[in-house]
Structure 1
Amino acid sequence: MSARAVANEFAKMKHLRIGLVAAVLVIAVSLLSLYTVVSSPQFSPEEPGAWNALLAGMSLGIPLVSPLLLAVIASRQTDIEHTGNGWLLQSTAGITPGGICRAKLAALGTVVTISTLATCLFVLVLGKLLAGILVAVPLGHWAGFTLCVLVVNLAVLALHILLSAKVENQLVALGVGVFGCVMAVFSQGLPAAAAHLTPWGYYALIKAADYEGDRYVSLPLSYPSIAVLAVVAGALFALITFRFDRQEA
């Protein structure tokens, strides 16, 4: 992967409206998080666990929309290589198919990182300004949740870049994205061991808060599982893209 290849990917984004899709992701998750607060009759901005309502909203909103929108982002950025014969054109410039995929992950990963951080920050601001939460923000738990969401989002993004690169019909990638949304939500009702079986199940492992009894409570985050996911996803992405390097464009 070269800086030139990454710069090329950023240039392509201007015509593919990747920023618009990322903005939809931020807005959709933020509104779903705020809806959790508005729709809860037990919510009080003065109770000690008031921020847990927003964390619970994000824990539900992110699995509902992220898998599909990440699939859309990866598909749009990769489909241009299929339709414009970009694999061959860039190989003549010395950029291998695997190098293109790694450049796409670097470029799109930057966008996903910014959108993920923006989402968690925006929800925090909404909690202060619109929900009027008066208690102190649990910054440690909030930051940990943000980091875990980022890792899972990047892992799912890497999966979809590989899928979109390998399968020319992008309806397949989008169908997998819809399936991912279903699995991400469904996994929240499964045992933790079962949630480890799919990339989307990890959204259930980073659930930061939930409704229990008559109030929202904070939940522990599965940091070891997320760390393993980061290592395994990174290693598999590197291995598969290096195999792409040995294939003809």
Structure 2
Amino acid sequence: MMRTAFVNEFAKMRHLHVGLLITVLGVIMLGIGLFSSLGSPDFDRATQDSWNTLIGGTGSGITLAAPLLLAVIASRQVDIEHQGNGWLMSATSGVTPGGLCRAKLLALGLLVAGVTVVTSGLIAGAGLLLGITAPFPTGRWIGFTAALLAVNLVLLALHTLIAARVENQLVGIGIGLLGTILALFSTAVPAWISHLTPWGYYALSTASGYVDGTLVAITPAYPSIAALGVVAAAAFLILTRRFDRKEA
């Protein structure tokens, strides 16, 4: 039953044009990432500053685009169940409300993961095409991409839960808009404040930043991001199982 529910989510995506929204997410991330990087005075093709600038630009693109668009994507994918009494129809076919939420997260998560990785790869490829001669920081770039991906999936899970319990899409979208503000705010505050909201973890995932006015490589807060992922996964499973015991 769960496999069928998972496949059905892709059919719903085509009807809801969710794939287009995910593509828009990637395009905005790519556009902002490249624009902010190439316009920076620190973009020096002969030094690691060029890669640090591209990493910073990629982070900026995701911070600006992802919080709101992830809210919209999750809201659209879930709202169809509220509008068409899909929760009851799925339950009669053997898929519980919680199981349906898990199928939605898995289906959306695969596409969000794909667009995050592909966009990061395109920005790295653009750097090479632009003639950067400094060695490519393979390990750091992969770690940075994985950290951003983890935060994206956590927020997708959060908005899937919100959309499942609150029928008004504007609530989830409003929270996503607030999340954009919090994500931007977190880049200018101490790290302990960034830990207080899931959107603050975008700032913790950065792999470059300014220290005493100099652009340098930074190690993302991998332990914190891993802890967030574990807590979010456990909370999602617990809450969706509680959905299974309630009337949709």
- What is the match of residue 165 of structure 2? 166
**Paired residue secondary structure (1:189):** coil
- Whole-angstrom distance in 1 between the partners of 2:89 and 2:213: 60
Post-superposition Cα deviations, 1:94-137, rounded to whole Å, max 9, x if no partner, equal 111101100001100101110110111011111122x3212221
Post-superposition Cα deviations, 1:138-175, rounded to whole Å, max 9, x if no partner, equal 00000000111111100000000000000000000100
2:109 maps to 1:139: no
Percent identity, aligned pairs only, is 51
Q: Map of 1:185-204 to 2, 5 A cutoff?
A: 185-204=184-203
Contiguous gaps of at least 5 residues in structure 1: none
Q: CA deviation at 1:35?
A: 1.4
- Whole-angstrom distance in 2 between the partners of 1:165 and 1:121: 33
- What is the match of residue 81 of structure 1? 81
Post-superposition Cα deviations, 1:212-237, rounded to whole Å, max 9, x if no partner, equal 56653211110100110111000000
- What is the match of residue 247 of structure 2? 248
- What is the match of residue 45 of structure 2? 45
- What is the match of residue 228 of structure 1? 227
What number of residue pairs does the alignment pair up? 248
Post-superposition Cα deviations, 1:73-113, rounded to whole Å, max 9, x if no partner, equal 10110010011110111111111110110000110010111
Taking only aligned residues, the RMSD between alpha carbons, in angstroms, comes to 1.3
The answer to whether the 8 Å contact 2:42/2:53 transfers is no
- What is the match of residue 118 of structure 1? 118
Moved over 3 A (4+): 211-215
User: Larger deviation: 141-150 or 203-212?
Assistant: 203-212
2:183 maps to 1:184: yes
**Paired residue secondary structure (2:135):** coil
User: Larger deviation: 120-129 or 98-107?
Assistant: 120-129
- What is the match of residue 36 of structure 1? 36
- Whole-angstrom distance in 1 between the partners of 2:132 and 2:49: 10
**Paired residue secondary structure (1:40):** coil
TM-score of the superposition, structure 2-length normalised? 0.96
- Whole-angstrom distance in 2 between the partners of 1:13 and 1:137: 37
The answer to whether the 8 Å contact 2:63/2:180 transfers is yes
- Whole-angstrom distance in 1 between the partners of 2:65 and 2:234: 26
The answer to whether the 8 Å contact 1:52/1:218 transfers is yes
Contiguous gaps of at least 5 residues in structure 2: none
The answer to whether the 8 Å contact 1:49/1:216 transfers is yes
**Paired residue secondary structure (1:226):** helix
TM-score of the superposition, structure 1-length normalised? 0.96
